[in-house]
Structure formats: C-alpha cells, structure tokens
A and B are shown apart, each in its own frame.
Chain A
C-alpha cells in the first residue's frame, strides 16, 4: 500500500487539491472541487500502479553519451514584462521526446 500512497502524493491533482484547501479563497467551492479531484486522483493512481502505462526506458538519460565541442550563441532579443506565470509559455526544456521543427545541419 505504501508505494500506492507515494504515487498518489506525486499526483498533480492531489497537489492541486492541497494547494486549494490551503488558499482559503472561495471556501464554499471546496467540497465541489475536493470530491471529484480526490476521486480522479485515487482512480488514476490505482490504475497507474497496476497497469504501469506510463513506464518506459528513459534512454535519453540512461544511454552512455559523451558530449564535447559545445558552442553557445545567446543574445537578448526583447522583453516580456508583466507576466502572471512564473514559467514561460510553451516551455519544453524537459519534454525531450516532443520533436520540433527539423533543420538541416552540416
């Protein structure tokens, strides 16, 4: 049961729920949010623990790789002020598997 609880606590919905109850804002909405959120978190957590549909080999981290000859070219192109999000839009720095526009390299 302990691994199952660990998976549940790692679930983003559970986190959202905990943040929700702490905030204190819109207190009247809490029971209507908490019920479905816990339902979804428990259902998803148990299903994933049994079926492991999200498991794969993390080849991009585990394959032996040597890196060298790094050239960085960074330049300021503008400003993006008065943003409400802590992270930028469409950040894909940790989403290694999603491919973007392919360019030819010599």
Chain B
C-alpha cells in the first residue's frame, strides 16, 4: 500500500508551507529516516524524513506553496 506524503503542520501559526526541494527524484528508492524533502515556513526550514521505505513518487512541485495536509507524493 502506498504511504501518502502530506504537508506537515510546522508551528502554531503555520497554515501554508513551501515545498523547497526534493532530495530524491521520481522512482528512486528511499529508506525510512532518509530526508526526502525540505519544507519552509515564514519562520523556518525543516527537513522531512521518509516514514516508510520504498519507491518515491513525488507529485508536489518545488517552490510551490501548499496548504497543511495537501498531498505532495507517495512512497510505494
């Protein structure tokens, strides 16, 4: 089953988060704990770790602002 990657809530006032950079590309193998992307709020940049191992299918685009909870990819 695919594990969804959704935009996390990064702070009390954070409602929107910029997907800064994917550290892995489409179809690449990732392991649980790998930093798979960085996210940026108006206050900080946070490294987000994979919560499962598998093949990364990113759908979110770098530099785009997303709402907390938006789907930006899966790990199959």
Q: Do A and B bind each other?
A: no
User: A residues bordering B, Cβ < 8 Å?
Assistant: none
